[in-house]
Structure 1
Amino acid sequence: MSKYPNTFLAVDNSNTQLLPKSVNKIIFYGHSLSQADYSYFQSIFDYYNIYSENITLIFYYSKYGNYDIKEIAKDQFDKVSRLLENYGKSIPDKGKSLLPKLLLEKRVKILEYK
């Protein structure tokens, strides 16, 4: 018997899926987009096959602390670019073109949350 009877780790007895089978957009907010969290993004991107499917990725940012909103926007753009470039490396043959492809197809957006 578990020492913590009312808790569980990634156990779902309801037979429902954690993520819906199809979506047309994925929205991120309040996430560091750091390398430490890369595996979460990779799992989501793989699950939804973002290279081939018509899914828009929306990354929101907001002002915090004494930082200028333009600095925050640039930092968010850099982090999103790095995330998608790293993820693209995991896609055989086509991965190098992931970020340009998403940008040209207007399937990646970086927006201020107001």
Structure 2
Amino acid sequence: MKPNEAQLLAELPAPAKSFILYFLEGTTDITPESAPMVEEIRSEIAKRPGAEVQVTGHTDTVGSDSDNDALSQKRAEEILNLLASRGFDRAIMSAVGRGERELKLPTGDNVGSAVNRRVEVIVR
């Protein structure tokens, strides 16, 4: 490796980091086990100059498609609001809801699944 290549590699931005927070059924309330993850996300954003944050909400299959679309969007916005309340500019963040379209654990319709009730946060 040439001397300047090592320096260039050291200056590359850190790879994106992802976090998953889980929610109580039918709500925008994160589980007690997920609460400490908010501080980890905050810390990761703070150490990245020019950070971009993508927040994607998901649901399980309980409820109608339209209700789950709305709930997943509300979950994503809840986390975005939580991060904004800790001083981060909303302009660096985006929130989208995917409803039950991207199940982490495939299930039948109207099946409650804690692993599917989640928000994924990607910090770049």
| More relative contact order, 1 or 2 (CA 8 Å, 6+ apart) | 2
| TM-score, normalised with respect to structure 2 | 0.47
